[in-house]
Structure 1
Amino acid sequence: MIDLENIFKKESVEDVILHFAPRIPYPRIDRIYVKYNFEVIASGELLRTYQRLLKEGKLLENKKPLPEKGPNWKEPVFVTEKRYGLE
């Protein structure tokens, strides 16, 4: 089972977005941060980071609700190390 609480509390906002944005819609990521790490929402960090990742080409918007992995996308270290129950 994936330990979402620790992912959203311990990992950088950029890494969390890079892993989850191509899989779940932004509003759901926002709600998970509200539950586990509200400071990221209150400070505006989540939205700023998401917009920056789009500008940097790490994520690409399309006509679907989920962005695609961009040409500059790299898998976050917590995923490659299979932390938090990720496979």
Structure 2
Amino acid sequence: MLDLEGIYKNESVEDVLLHFAPRTPYPSIDRMYVNYKFEIVANGHLLETYQRVIREGKLLENGKPLPEKDPNWKEPKFVTNNKYGIE
């Protein structure tokens, strides 16, 4: 079973975005941070990080609800290590 709470509480905001943004709309990611680590949303860190990964070419906004993986995208280590039940 996927441990979403563990991911949102323990992993960097950038890594969470790199994994979830191509498959989950931003408002859903925002809502998960509100549930598990509110201060990330309250201080603007989530939006700042999202904008930065777009600028750095890790995610590509395409006019659709979900961004695409850009050439500089790398799978986060928590995913490659199969942490939190991710397969």
TM-score, normalization: structure 2? 0.99
Q: RMSD over aligned Cα, in angstroms?
A: 0.4
Structure 1 unaligned residues grouped into runs of 5+: none
Q: Distance in 2 between matches of 1:48 and 1:71?
A: 20
| Residue matched to 2:34 | 34
Structure 2 unaligned residues grouped into runs of 5+: none
CA deviations 1:24-68 (Å, max 9, x no partner) are 000000000000000100110000000000000000001211000
| Residue matched to 1:15 | 15
| Residue matched to 1:5 | 5
Structure 2 counterpart of 1:60, one-letter code = L
